[in-house]
């Protein structure tokens, strides 16, 4: 078994953002004047 196959077994499969179990983005604008957006790499806070 190759190292890549071992790592694939350890890392959980990525879920799509459209799945019903996905958490909604948290609105932090009142505190930090920006917003949290979901990217392919995970949640990210964006200041506009």
- pLDDT per residue over 1-48, tens digit each? 577 777 777 777 765 555 555 566 666 566 666 677 888 888 887 776
33: containing domain:
23-48
- Asked if the structure places residue 42 within a domain, the reply is yes
In a domain, 31, yes or no: yes
Kindly list the distances between the CA atom of residue 1 and the CA atoms of 6, 11, 31, 38, 46, in Å, as whole numbers in the listed order: 7, 16, 49, 34, 41
- Specify the pLDDT at position 14: 65
14 is a domain residue: no
- Residue 33, pLDDT score: 66
**Residue 28: inside a domain, yes or no?**
yes
Is 6 a member of any domain? no
- What is residue 32's predicted lDDT score, i.e. its pLDDT? 65
Domain count within the chain: 1
Residue 18 lies in a domain: no
In a domain, 46, yes or no: yes
């Amino acid at each position: 078994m190759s190292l890549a196959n071992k790592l694939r077994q350890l890392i959980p499969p990525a879920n799509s953002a459209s799945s019903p179990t996905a958490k909604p983005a948290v609105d932090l604008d009142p505190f930090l004047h920006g917003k949290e957006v979901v990217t392919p790499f995970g949640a990210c806070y964006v200041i506009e």
